[in-house]
Amino acid sequence: MAAKAPLIALRGNQGISMVEGTPPCAPNPNFVSDPSSTCRVMAFSLDGSLFSWCNGECVNIINTLTGVLVHQLPKTKTACLSFSPRGNYLSTWEPFTTSKDNPNGSKNLEIWDIKSGQAIVAFYQKKRDTWQPRWTDDEEVCARSVSNEVHCFHGGDFSNIASKLRLQGVGSFEISHGKAPYTIAAYVPGTKGAPSAVRLFQHPDFDNPGSVLANKSFFKADKVDIKWNKKGTSALVLTSVEVDASGASYYGEQTLHCVNTSGESSMVQLGKKGPIYDVAWSPTLQEFCVVYGYMPAKATLYNHRCDAVFDFGTGPRNEIHYNPHGNILCLTGFGNLRGWMEFWSRKDLKMISKPQASDTTYFEWSPDGEHILTATTAPRLREGNGFKIWHYTGALKYQTDVKELWQATWQPCPEGVFKEKPVTLKAQATQESKPSGAYVPPHLRGAGAKKPAIKIHEDELPQNLKKAQENESKAAAKNRKKREAKARSKQEEENQPTSQVVENAPLSPSAPAAAVSGDNEKKIRNLKKKLRQIEELKTQQKAGKQLEVNQLEKLKNEDALLKEIKALEIGS
């Protein structure tokens, strides 16, 4: 029996609802919609079995299969919430506030036990950017940052800090994926002329000098974004400075580095100048993709050693999205771009389709690895709110308008529920528009106006198409030269009358003027061509040019050629 399509949760000014993930996307009968217009946040557990949201009165947790309410938590101001990897814990965060009666404020980060519905620990966490606790995939370690330290709790015991990473000025950190031993990548901002740094520490012996697995320094890094690969062996570090000192980029300045647990680090060499828009690891392979450079942006695939594997060329794109199976890669251009989506087969690196989803503010792969959810949401865009479901071949399966949509997301599914299917390269109907051509200034527009032949931006072809075009160009040039040589030869023969050949190389007056057969005619034509070459050599010799040995040998063959022509003409 095929796996059932996952649900889609919707949040907007009309509350929270849940619909089936297959057209016609009917409301899920097991979920009772919440009509509250103050629903600030919602989230699924990573296996999709639980769903939670805050409606301004409480935090609700339900079982998605039955729709049964699991718990109601008395948290009215929750602005952020997230489940632990295995769904055993729920973290909630409220904005930190103080009052006259409570000048120190209250603990605003809480971790709840899903089974009992009780809060097991609470912390002070003022910054929203770093509110979320970090978990290992097996939930054996939970870590959070405090001033100059990272505190680690083991085995769900929050009554005791099991290990501490003491690091002066630590700004942010990420725990590696995969099995133990775990690695923590920590970022330390630079101060007083000292460079910023990202260091890898092996958990839990942080005080042991040998626990520092790698150390990478950066002189230009106001902030960093750290992304671990699936195995937890390498981390990509995207560094950013808010202002480009050269003034060349509106986006500031970015660099990308790869650091691994063996202590090696390297800077990713990019093939075009400009900002780095997005970086993503493959969920199944030891490779990553980068979109970078001034528009039209370039996209390149790299292996774990930072060697370029494939060049996707350039285009209007700024995001990267691998499907859950890693066999399809989608390059998209949203935001201030026109919404093109390029779907590529990872196995043979061929483009599958290129549909257009204009005004898209959100993109997400379905857990089945075949369908995509795109949404237009507020407050980014107030008009045209709604969502669409696409197939990766470019077919638009479903679309609907929502009066004011804030969020839309697929229900996650456990790994292995949906099996990987062969990729279909035959693209279906897409919403691709005709090329707009080069920009034409207003004063040159009109029926009789001469249009410029220069394009403002010339896209580079993908690597495979570029090679095919080069090979085709070489073959076309070779064939063109052959055709031109054949045409010249024919033209020379037509312009050279037989009487001239006879005059240059007199035959016997008594030679019969019989009709020449087809085969003999071709032979005679070739022999006369050789006679013409001999005549040219004679002319050069008379002009004083010293002939080479092979050219002198040709002169000696003149009599033999004349006799052969005569014999062929008589024989015909």
The pLDDT tens digits for 75-106 are 999 999 999 999 999 999 999 998 888 888 89
Residue 387 has a CB neighbour count (10 Å cut-off) of 24
506-529 pLDDT, tens digit per residue, is 444 444 444 445 677 888 888 888
Residues 137-158 have a mean pLDDT of: 92
**By mean pLDDT, which of 57-66, 222-231, 303-312, 456-465 is the weakest?**
456-465
49-60 pLDDT, tens digit per residue, is 999 999 999 999
Q: Give yes or no for residue 2 having a pLDDT over 70.
A: no
How many angstroms separate the CA atoms of 356 and 316, rounded?
A: 11
Structure tokens that stand for 523 in this block:
């032979």
Q: Is 545 helix (H, G, I), strand (E, B) or coil?
A: coil
How many angstroms separate the CA atoms of 293 and 309, rounded?
A: 18
Question: What are the beta bridge partners of residue 164?
Answer: 151
Residue 495 pLDDT: 60
Residue 435 pLDDT: 42
How many angstroms separate the CA atoms of 553 and 122, rounded?
A: 103
Which residue is associated with the tokens 């989230």?
43
Q: Are 14 and 404 in contact (CB under 8 A)?
A: yes
Residue 3 pLDDT: 63
Which residue is associated with the tokens 């979320």?
132
How many angstroms separate the CA atoms of 232 and 228, rounded?
A: 6
* Res. 537 pLDDT band, cuts 50 70 90: confident
Residue 509 pLDDT: 41
Q: Are 276 and 317 in contact (CB under 8 A)?
A: no
* DSSP letters spanning 19-80: EESSTT-PBPTT---B--TT--EEEE-TTSSEEEEE-SS-EEEEETTT--EEEEE--SS--E
Residue 493 pLDDT: 64
Handedness of CA 372, 18, 34, 80 (dihedral sign): negative
